[in-house]
Amino acid sequence: MEKFKEMNINQKYDENNMDRESFLEKYMKIFNKIISETGNYNYDIVEFYGVILCYLNFYDYDNFSNIINELFKSKTEDLFEILLIYNSHFKYHSINQNYDFFNKFIE
């Protein structure tokens, strides 16, 4: 997760981590299990959710939106850091939010 974060901070490696193959969708059950057990892990929140949200934005937008909303309520600063670091992965589906979300993001 740390290496993936580093690759996303350094935008020159951006194209190296953009594979979106249809066979990766078969890992949805594993991602859902990991998400359901989030409290059991002691990972850096930005790295952990960065990987999760990059995957979900392409393969499960409903779950992606739910996690975005939950993080906005409970970990706003971390969410914004995730959005800034991993922004190139969130181009497949827009982040549907309200004025308050974008206003806080800009602040």
| pLDDT score, position 12 | 61
Q: What's the number of domains the chain is made of?
A: 1
- Does residue 69 form part of some domain? yes
Range of the domain at 75: 2-11+21-106
Tens-binned pLDDT, residue by residue, of the chain (107 aa): 677 777 766 666 555 555 666 667 788 899 889 888 887 778 999 999 999 998 898 888 899 999 999 999 999 999 999 998 888 787 777 777 788 888 888 88
Domain-embedded: residue 65: yes
Residue closest to 1 by CA, chosen among 30, 44, 36, 61: 44
pTM of the predicted structure, to 2 decimals: 0.76
86 belongs to a structural domain: yes
Residue 16 lies in a domain: no
Count of helix runs (H) and strand runs (E) in the chain:
6, 0
Q: Which helix (H) or strand (E) holds 24?
A: none
Structure tokens at 10: 């350094």
